[in-house]
Amino acid sequence: MYRFDWDDDSRAVAELARDFGRSAAAAEREAADAGAVPETLSRQAEELGLLDLIRSADDGGLGLGALAAGHAVSALVAEAPTIGTSLLLPGVGSVFGAPRGALFADGGAGAGGYRRPEGVRFSNGTATGRIGFAASPTSPQEGFLVAASDAGDRLVRVAGAALELQDAPSMGLTAMRRVGGPVDGAAEDLQAFDARARQALFLAFAPFFHGYGRAALNYARTYAAGRKAFGKVIGGFQAIGFLLADVVMEVEAAELLWQEAAWRAEQGEEAFRFAAEALRAAKDAAYFAANSCVGVLGGHGFVDDHPAERWLRDVETLSALTGNRAALGQSTLDPSHSEEAHGVA
């Protein structure tokens, strides 16, 4: 019998993450302007174990499953989107056992759906090519890269010296180091980067978008409850109230699609299509929420007195960084929806 509540442990971790997010929220703008999360907050997040939500207990992490970890990520990001994402996104490689301080990057082998010819290739124990854009720890000590090979896409590990990374500018996620650059060096073959691996990645990315969606919804709601126009608060106008109703429906529908996908994955099911659709829905909902938030704030949403415009930049940057939205929707990604499955190969 289906249910939608959380067990005590998952709830406790999510509340810890949420409380940390609330305490960090005041530093959001400072972090975005400075290009880094304040050191005190990074240290505090580390001490609370928030940087190791997914990392296995054997590796010193909390060892949470995709559902519980995602719930906590979403809770933190909903309170402090820019800081939360800056702290947690570089650690997403821990899904594949990458240690803290390692760079995880889609090396153009198509984790998000498209393959780049100039991306990283793995052959004869060597990785060569180029990383386009990745969320990075401050000084990556090694790289976990998705690379193309003759044996299919692989997850490989390279030493830090094999990475010649430069800062890669982007319009959003400005409190986090973003990098790109050439790769050339010996590489260790870790695992196939197959549908299961992509599935795990999609499930890890989606909660960041849920967090942004919640944050934008909550900010727009609070603003609409206080801002007056034509003699009453603008939340009292149906044009605003109905828009927020549509936003919350899209945000919660996306969260539920993700919950179902993550649950299936935790049951050991092949959940690739569910995960891809959940990530796509999460991106769409987050964009809708962030864009609507700018709209509800009107001119105030367009300027940096409020976080709405930053969150809109962040969401689109995060969306680009986590794979092409259109590619996620291509049914060819899903073997069960291939032309062969339709009997028309």
Partner 1 sequence: MPDFHETDQEKTVRAYLNYFARSEIRPRSLEADRIEDIQPEFYQAVQRSGISMEMMPRSPGGSRDGAGAHERTTLRLSVLASEELSWGDASFLLSLPGPGLGGPPVSFIGTKEQRDRFFAVFKDTERPHFGAYALTEPEAGSDVAAIRTSCEEVPGGYRLNGTKTFITNGGRADWVVVFATIDPSLGRAGHRTFVVERGTPGFSVGRHHKKLGLRANDTSELVFADCFVPEENLLGGRAHYEQSKEGFKVAMQTFDATRPLVAAMAVGIARAAAERARELVEERYVLARPLPRYRALREALDDMDRRVRAARLLTWKSAFLADVREPQSRAASMAKAYTGKEAVLICREALELTAESGEAPDPFLEKWFRDIRVFDIFEGTAQVQRLVIARRLFEEIGAKVGL
Using CB under 8 A, list all residues that contact partner 1: 1-7, 10, 67-68, 221-222, 224-226, 232-233, 235-236, 238, 241-242, 244-246, 248-249, 252-254, 256-257, 259-260, 263-264, 267, 273, 277, 281, 329-332, 334, 337, 339, 342-344
One-character DSSP codes across 249-301: HHHHHHHHHHHHHHHHHHTT---HHHHHHHHHHHHHHHHHHHHHHHHHHTHHH
* CB of residue 284 to partner 1, shortest distance in Å: 11
* CB of residue 181 to partner 1, shortest distance in Å: 34
Nearer to partner 1, 121 or 221 (CB): 221
**Do 93 and 106 touch, CB atoms closer than 8 A?**
no
* CB of residue 232 to partner 1, shortest distance in Å: 6
* HEC profile of 134-168: EEECCCCCEEEEEEECCCCCEEEEEEHHHECCEEC
Nearer to partner 1, 131 or 262 (CB): 262
Which residue, chain included where needed, has tokens 């050439």? 182
In sequence order, the 6+-apart residues with CB closer than 8 A to the CB of 22 are 79, 80
**Do 70 and 76 touch, CB atoms closer than 8 A?**
no
Nearer to partner 1, 157 or 273 (CB): 273
Cα 126 to Cα 120: distance, rounded to the nearest angstrom: 10
Nearest to 145 by CA among 175, 176, 177, 116: 116
* CB of residue 289 to partner 1, shortest distance in Å: 13
* CB of residue 74 to partner 1, shortest distance in Å: 13
* CB of residue 257 to partner 1, shortest distance in Å: 5
Nearer to partner 1, 71 or 157 (CB): 71
Would you state the structure tokens that stand for residue 281, as one six-digit string? 């829905």
Nearer to partner 1, 125 or 226 (CB): 226
Nearer to partner 1, 101 or 236 (CB): 236
